[in-house]
Chain A
Amino acid sequence: MAIATTTGGRSRALPLAWKAVKLIASVALTFLGLLFVTFLIGRVVPVDPVLSVVGDRASQSVYDRVYVELGLDKPLIQQFWIYLQKVFTGDFGESFMTKRPIIDDIIRVFPATLELATLGVILGTLLGVPLGVLAAVRQGRLADQVVRVVGLVGYSAPIFWLGLLGLLVFYARLGWVAGPGRIDISYEYDIAPGTGLLLLDSAMQGRWAAFGNIFSHIILPASLLGYFSMAYISRMTRSFMLNELAQEYVVAARVKGVPEWRIIWVHALRNAAVPLVTVIALSYAGLLEGSVLTETVFAWPGLGQYLTNSLQSADMNAVLGGTLVIGAVFVGLNLLSDLLYTLLDPRVRRRA
C-alpha cells in the first residue's frame, strides 16, 4: 500500500531493484542464521560426535585422529565455515542409523510429505476461502458463528488425537478408508518410479486400481491437515473480506448497479486475494509442521516420520538435516508468497 503513494521525485525503477536486492539479502541472511542455529544445536548435544563415529571401544589414538578429522580442534567459527561448505554441496553427513548420506534419505522421503501437505492445503483452500467469504457476508449471523466455532475447534484439537480417532472411526469401525501407510504392499510394485508423488505417478501410468488404493490411504490424513489449514484460511479470509467490503469501491460498485454476488466474488475477493496468498503459503508451511505429528500417527513415510524416528534413535545429523530442510522450505515459501504478492497486486506489479 505504501508503495503506491510514492510518486514523483525519485526514479521508479530503482526502488524495485533495490527492493529485490534487499529481499534476496534478507532471505540469504535468514538462511545463514538458520544454518547457524542448527549448527549450534548440533554442537551443544550431549552426545559426543566422535564416539558416535568410532564407537566407545576405540583406542585413544583413533579417537584423536577422528577428533581432528571432524575439525573439532578448530575454532567454532571455522567449524561453522566447514559446516557451511558441506551443506552447500548437499552434504548433511551420514545417518547414524541407516549409514546412508542424509541428503539421500531426505530426497527419498520428501515427496510423501509434499504430496500429503499439498493435498491438505488444496482441500483447506477450497473449503476455507468460501467459508471465510460466507462468514464475512453474514457477519454476526448464524453462519458466521458456525464458521467461527468450526475454525476455533480446528485451532484447539490436537492433530495427532484427531488422527487416531479418525483411524478408529473411519478405518477400524466403518472401513471407509485404508489404514496407516501410503499404499498397500500388493500395489507397491505396480508403479514405476516417477515423481515420487504417488497419486500423480499412478494416474500418469494409468494404474487406476493403485490410484484408488493410494487415494484411500491419503484422504484421511489429507482431510485432517486440510481441516487445520481451513481453520486458519477461513478466519483470515473473513477478516480480509470484512476489510474489503467496507471499502468505498464496494459502494461505488453498488452505485453502478453491480449485483451483490459479483461485488463479493469479483470486486472484494480479488482484492482480498492479495494478502490471502501469503496466508495460504504460510498455512502450507504450517502443514509441514503438522506433518511431523500426522505422519507419526498414520505411519506415513515422509519427512515428519523420518524426523521423529531419528529423534527417537538420537540420530542427530538426521534430525538437523531434516530441520534444516523444513526451515529452508519455510523460508522458500515465504519468498514465494512475496513474489506472488507482487504478481497479484497491480500497484506493485507495474513497477517491474
Chain B
Amino acid sequence: MSALLTVEDLRVAFPARQGPSEVVRGVSFTLGRERLGIVGESGSGKSQTGRALLGLTPPPGTATAKRLEFDGIDLRSATPRHWRSLRGGRMSMVMQDPKFSLNPVMTIGRQIMEALAFHGRSSRAEKKARALAMLEAVQIRDPERVFRAYPHELSGGMGQRAMIAMMLVTEPDLLIADEPTSALDVTVQIEVLRILDALVSDRGMGLIFISHDLRLVASFCDRVLVMYAGRVVEELKASELDRARHPYTQGLMNCLPRIDSDTRPLPTMTRDASWAP
C-alpha cells in the first residue's frame, strides 16, 4: 500500500508573550487508504494537527515539518493557489458543529455547489445534479427541500449530513473528520457515523478521524494515535487497545465507565510531568 500522506516532525507554533509556544511538537505518521484515529484531550494539539495538514493553521500560528507529502506532492512548498486546488478537490475536512461551520446566509445548495465551482468545469445544471445526488448519498430523504434550505432550518443531524455532502461532493482522496459527531445528540451520532463509514468505504478514501472519545475512535478506525501535550505518546492498532503501554492511554481507558463493573471511586486522570518533556 503506497502512502497517501506522510508526515514527519510536524510542529505548529503560536507566538506568545514569552516566545513562541508549540501546540504540536513533532508529530510523525503515514497514512494509506485507511482509517487513522487521533485521540487526545482538548488542547492536546489534535485539531491543530488536522488543520495544519490542510494548510489552515490560523495566523499568527505557523506550521513546519521535515516532511509533509500528500500523494507525492510536497505540501511544504505548495503555493496558496496550489493549496486551494488541493483543498476541497483532493483533501477535505468535516468540521465539528454544523451550526457554526455552515454559512448562515447561504442556502445549503449554494454552499455545496460552491465546492464544485472551484474544482473542474461543469455547468450549473451538472453542479446541481451532483449536489442533489450527494445529498441523497448522505441519506437525506428530501434533497430538493434541503438544497433550498438555510442552515438554521435544519436540525443538527441534518446539518452535519449536509456538511458531509458538501465536503465529499468533490470526491476527495483524503478526509479529515474533526470531532464530526461531538456536537450532535447521542441518538443522531450513530446515524451520522454510519453514513460517514459507508461513504469512506465505498470511495476508498483515506480518513483521519479526530476525537476525544477513545472508544468511538477504536470502533471506527484501523489505527489510533494517542496525543498528549502536542506529541504522539502512543500508536496502536485499534484491535490492540487493551495492550496500551503508555500510562496516559491507560488512564483514558480507565476513565471509560463500564456497564459490568462498579468502579468506585470514579477513576480520575493523574498526569505526570514526564509525559510532556
A–B contact via C-beta, under 8 angstroms: yes
Interface residues of A, Cβ cutoff 8 Å to B: 4, 247-249, 251-260, 267, 270-271, 274, 344-347, 350
A139 to chain B, nearest CB (A): 9
> Hey, which chain B residues are within 8 Å of A258, CB to CB?
84, 88, 114, 118
Verify A248–B104 contact, CB threshold 8 A. no
Contact of A255 among B56, B100, B104 (CB under 8 A): B56
Given contacts A247-B100, A255-B95, 12 further A-B contacts (CB under 8 A): A252-B95, A252-B166, A254-B54, A255-B93, A256-B88, A256-B167, A257-B86, A258-B88, A270-B103, A274-B105, A344-B105, A350-B152
- How many residues of chain B have a CB within 8 Å of chain A? 32
CA distance A346 to B97 in the complex (A): 19
Q: How near does chain A come to B11, taking the closest CB pair, in angstroms?
A: 21
Q: Quick one: which of B89, B100, B105 contacts A346, CB cutoff 8 A?
A: B105
Alpha-carbon distance between A166 and B102 when the two chains are bound, in angstroms: 48
| The 6 nearest A-B residue pairs measured at CB | A257-B88, A248-B100, A256-B88, A256-B115, A248-B101, A257-B87
Q: Smallest CB–CB gap between A249 and chain B, Å?
A: 4
Partner among A249, A255, A257, A344 whose Cβ is within 8 Å of the Cβ of B103: A249
Docked-complex contact A257 and B100, CB < 8 angstroms: no
B152 with A249: CB separation less than 8 A: no
Q: Known A251-B56, A251-B95, A257-B119; judge A350-B150 contact (CB<8 A).
A: yes
For this complex, 5 residue pairs linking A to B, each with C-beta atoms less than 8 Å apart, are A248-B101, A249-B101, A255-B92, A267-B106, A344-B105
Knowing A255-B88, A255-B95, A259-B84 touch, does A350 contact B153 (C-beta < 8 A)? yes
State which of B88, B118, B150 has its C-beta within 8 Å of the C-beta of A347. B150
Q: How far is the CA of A271 from the CA of B54 in the complex (A)?
A: 25
Closest chain A CB from B270 CB (angstroms): 34
CB–CB A252/B102 < 8 A:
yes
Does B85 lie at the interface of the complex (its beta carbon under 8 Å from any beta carbon of A)? Answer: yes
Interface hits, B32-90 → A, CB 8 Å: 51, 54, 56, 80, 84-89
Q: Are B106 and A270 in contact (CB under 8 A)?
A: yes
Chain A residues closer than 8 Å to B101, beta-carbon distance = 248-249, 251-252
Set of chain A residues within 8 Å of B118, measured between Cβ atoms: 256-259
Find chain B residues with CB under 8 A from A254 CB: 54, 56, 87
Instruction: Known A256-B114, A257-B86; judge A249-B54 contact (CB<8 A).
Output: no
- CB of A193 to closest CB in B, whole Å: 43
Taking a contact as CB atoms under 8 Å apart, the answer to whether A257 and B56 are in contact is no
Complex: chain B residue closest to A4, CB-CB = B152
- Hey, which chain B residues are within 8 Å of A260, CB to CB? 80
Q: Once the chains are docked, how many angstroms separate the CA of A297 from the CA of B56?
A: 53
Set of chain A residues within 8 Å of B119, measured between Cβ atoms: 257
Q: What's the minimum C-beta distance from A261 to chain B, rounded to whole angstroms?
A: 11
What is the distance, in angstroms, from A126's C-beta to the closest C-beta of chain B?
A: 22
Question: Least Cβ distance of A7 to chain B in Å?
Answer: 8
A residues within 8 A CB of B115? 256-257
**Chain B's nearest CB lies how many Å from the CB of A271?**
6
Complex alpha-carbon distance, A118 and B163, angstroms? 43
Q: How far is the CA of A260 from the CA of B51 in the complex (A)?
A: 17
Determine the distance from Cα of A346 to Cα of B150 in the docked complex, in whole angstroms: 7
- Which B residues lie within 8 Å of A248 (CB)? 95-97, 100-101
Q: Bound complex: CA of A270 vs CA of B106, how far in Å? A: 9
Residues in A neighbouring B88, C-beta threshold 8 A: 255-258
CA distance A99 to B158 in the complex (A): 69
Decide: A257 near B85, CB < 8 A? Known: A252-B102, A274-B105, A347-B104: yes
Q: Are A267 and B103 in contact (CB under 8 A)?
A: yes
Cβ contacts under 8 Å, B152 to chain A: 4, 346-347, 350
